Chain A
Amino acid sequence: MLKERIYSISEYKQKIFSQKEYMREKDISGCGLFGVINKKGQPISGCVPVEAIAIQHDRGNGLGGGFAAYGIYPDLADKYAFHLMCDDQHSLDQAESLLKKYFDIHLSEAIPTRRTLNVMDSPILWRFFLTVKKDRPSWNFLSEEDYVVAVVMLVNKRVPGAYIFSSGKNMGAFKGVGFPEDIGEFYRLDEYKGHIWTAHNRFPTNTPGWWGGAHPFTILDWSIVHNGEISSYGINKRYLCEHKYECTLMTDTEVVAYLLDLLIRKHGLSKKMACKVFAPPFWDEIDRMEAEEREAYTALRMVYGSGLLNGPFAILFADHKSLVGLNDRIKLRPLIVAEKGDEVFMASEDCSIRSVCPDPEKLWAPKAGEPVIVELEN
């Protein structure tokens, strides 16, 4: 079952240890990240993120790989593209009947995959292209986006064995259990083109390595990939719960996707301010600021204390017009940024960027807690 626990602990261990040699001879590691944006909105082949994350192979252990891509469904750009993973046909049928109640379905199809040696036991992977029904069965007072969020939460919480893991327009998440280069092959990402990509290589530490727990995590157009641990998960989750976001995927990173939606879309914070909620300046730094800035940051820390992300992290998040990289404020995880022409690259390792951009014009390690925000031009 996708919902509840994926495997009992003994099943889980047997499954992993019987198949994967690399689990027995474990290398020290941490997750790996990669992201790229073309500032002019020009398409980038899915081969690029796959190649760049493959170089970081040893940062993961084969228990999770994933990608987010923007601009991949230009012919259906006005439809919500829902990607679903389901235990079996029954779960998919249940999810579909629920979606039918809230949306008009324009296209319903299997997400194209190819048989890949190292990707095993995949759930049913399906996508729907949807528009909100004119006559809504409920939640008439909600904005369209809030309505979509509400349905995603409903399906993820109530339909056994079914998860919506992507719900934006003209974008999509592709993820699963495996090394990211295998997941990229499995989802046939070489056949997609997008102007923003993020990629993730997972080394699960505190939570199970299962299909739903692979990164990216998404809601609407937001996607996030993360290297680290969010020890404030409990506080963040309860805070989100008050705002009708339900965490169902058993991985700490999920809270960041919903916090982005809450802080930026609903509360209207700028991306920079949202980053300063996640990784706020220390109080002694605030004390040294000019009066106006000092008041602003004091207010931000007071109002959004429950949105602070504690623990080590490097994250990349995106929406359809920007890519943002951010470190925790004492830099407990690596992040490198590089520029060349219209493209900006972000990754856990220098070599990952150079594998797809051998001669960047500029390459640097951003300072802890200082977001690198790259917006599309025009």
Chain B
Amino acid sequence: MSKLVIDAKGIYYRDLNAKIREAVREGYKEFELLNVSGQRYIATGLEGDLKFLIKGVAGQDTAAFMRGPYIRVKGNAQDGLANTMDEGRIVVEGMAGDVLGYAMRGGEVYVLEDVGYRVGIHMKAYKDKLPVIVIGGKAGDFLGEYMAGGVIIVLGLFSKHPEAPITGRSLATGIHGGSIYVRGGVPEYQLSSNLLVEEATAEDMELISKYVHNFCKELNKDPEPILKEKFIRIRPKSHRPYGNLYVPN
């Protein structure tokens, strides 16, 4: 079936999503959504081999619970993108808001510019599922808060906050699994004592290189200079950081 083009201008989010779901049931595999203006829940809960091109501003909880589809946002994404996402790929050509990848458990998200606060909160990995977020710009506070698994890579390159540090306060608070890789490194004062901070190993660099290459391919950047810089790896010291909080062993 051919591509379905929908002009979303002035369409209420429920009607827009109903229309998309109806088309998916009819067998459409490819969608181009024009003039998207913050409509919520686009591609939420959709499964399988679908393709979306979203032109405009993707609204709250775009691609929540999504399992499989490919989404390209030509513009910015608002808060809650990839909430509990399971599989698939999202590419954002602009910036993304707060709680990106909340409880994400699989799939890949590539954001060209800055992301908001609490990105990757409660991310987790299970068996062959490894959620990955690559951030071309900088991240707000609480990056990887309560992170249980998966990978976050922060490049710090395409940012609107030249004066800000690459990640914010309370970095990886309560993290108990997974890895955060930061290009260049972060100021010492941002690293709390529960974090294990080391230079990325050759094995790590292999993984970083794979996803940075994906990022560059999707967003038309040159991976060479990005990968020349050293990366640090942030991991939890303990998989049970609060194990002794209430009942000391």
Residue of A nearest to B189 (CB): A288
Partner of A365, one of B13, B57, B97, B169: B97
| A185 close to B (CB within 8 Å) | no
Partner of A364, one of B13, B59, B78, B161: B161
| A284 close to B (CB within 8 Å) | yes
Q: Of residues A284, A288, A330, A352, which shows the largest number of chain B Cβ atoms within 10 Å of its Cβ?
A: A330
Looking at the assembled complex, report how far the CB atom of B231 sits from the nearest CB atom of chain A, in whole angstroms. Answer: 24
Looking at the assembled complex, report how far the CB atom of A199 sits from the nearest CB atom of chain B, in whole angstroms. Answer: 15
Are B57 and A351 in contact (CB-based, < 8 A)?
A: yes
Given the interface contacts A364-B160, A365-B114, does A334 sit within 8 Å of B37 by beta carbon?
Answer: no
| A residues in contact with B76, CB < 8 Å | 350, 363
Are B79 and A334 in contact (CB-based, < 8 A)?
A: yes
Are A350 and B160 in contact (CB-based, < 8 A)?
A: no
| B residues in contact with A365, CB < 8 Å | 95, 97, 114, 116, 140
Q: Is the interface of B mostly helix, strand, loop or mixed?
A: loop
Looking at the assembled complex, report how far the CB atom of A179 sits from the nearest CB atom of chain B, in whole angstroms. Answer: 13
Are B114 and A351 in contact (CB-based, < 8 A)?
A: no
| B38 close to A (CB within 8 Å) | yes
| B residues in contact with A14, CB < 8 Å | none
Given the interface contacts A288-B189, A350-B38, does A367 sit within 8 Å of B57 by beta carbon?
Answer: no
Are B161 and A367 in contact (CB-based, < 8 A)?
A: yes
Looking at the assembled complex, report how far the CB atom of B121 sits from the nearest CB atom of chain A, in whole angstroms. Answer: 13
| B164 close to A (CB within 8 Å) | yes
Q: What mask results when residues 90 to 106 of chain B are scored 1 for a CB within 8 Å of chain A, else 0? A: 00000101100000000
Bin chain A's interface residue count: 20 to 34
Are A355 and B140 in contact (CB-based, < 8 A)?
A: no
Q: How many B residues have CB within 8 A of the partner chain?
A: 26
| B181 close to A (CB within 8 Å) | no
| B141 close to A (CB within 8 Å) | yes
| A residues in contact with B37, CB < 8 Å | 55, 351, 354-355
Residue of A nearest to B76 (CB): A350
Given the interface contacts A351-B57, A367-B164, does A284 sit within 8 Å of B116 by beta carbon?
Answer: no
| A246 close to B (CB within 8 Å) | no
| B67 close to A (CB within 8 Å) | no
Are B142 and A330 in contact (CB-based, < 8 A)?
A: yes
Are A331 and B116 in contact (CB-based, < 8 A)?
A: yes
| B residues in contact with A330, CB < 8 Å | 117, 141-142, 169-170
Are B141 and A58 in contact (CB-based, < 8 A)?
A: no
Looking at the assembled complex, report how far the CB atom of A24 sits from the nearest CB atom of chain B, in whole angstroms. Answer: 15
Partner of A331, one of B57, B95, B141: B141
Residue of B nearest to A368 (CB): B141
| A221 close to B (CB within 8 Å) | no
| A182 close to B (CB within 8 Å) | no
Complex Cα–Cα for A156 and B136 (A): 53
Partner of B140, one of A284, A331, A349, A351: A331
| B40 close to A (CB within 8 Å) | yes
Complex Cα–Cα for A284 and B191 (A): 13
Looking at the assembled complex, report how far the CB atom of A60 sits from the nearest CB atom of chain B, in whole angstroms. Answer: 14
Complex Cα–Cα for A355 and B35 (A): 10
Are A331 and B38 in contact (CB-based, < 8 A)?
A: no
Complex Cα–Cα for A352 and B78 (A): 11
Complex Cα–Cα for A364 and B97 (A): 10
Given the interface contacts A331-B116, A331-B117, A334-B79, does A354 sit within 8 Å of B57 by beta carbon?
Answer: yes
Partner of A367, one of B98, B140, B142: B140
Chain B interface residues (CB < 8 Å from chain A): 13, 37-38, 40, 56-57, 59, 76, 78-79, 95, 97-98, 114, 116-117, 140-142, 160-161, 164, 168-170, 189
Extra inter-chain contacts (16) besides given A349-B38, A350-B78, A364-B114, CB under 8 Å: A55-B37, A56-B38, A58-B13, A288-B189, A330-B142, A330-B169, A331-B98, A350-B76, A351-B59, A364-B160, A365-B114, A365-B116, A367-B161, A367-B164, A367-B168, A368-B117
17 A-B pairs within 8 Å (CB atoms) are namely A56-B38, A58-B13, A284-B189, A330-B117, A334-B116, A349-B38, A349-B59, A350-B76, A350-B78, A351-B37, A351-B57, A351-B78, A354-B56, A365-B114, A367-B140, A367-B164, A367-B168
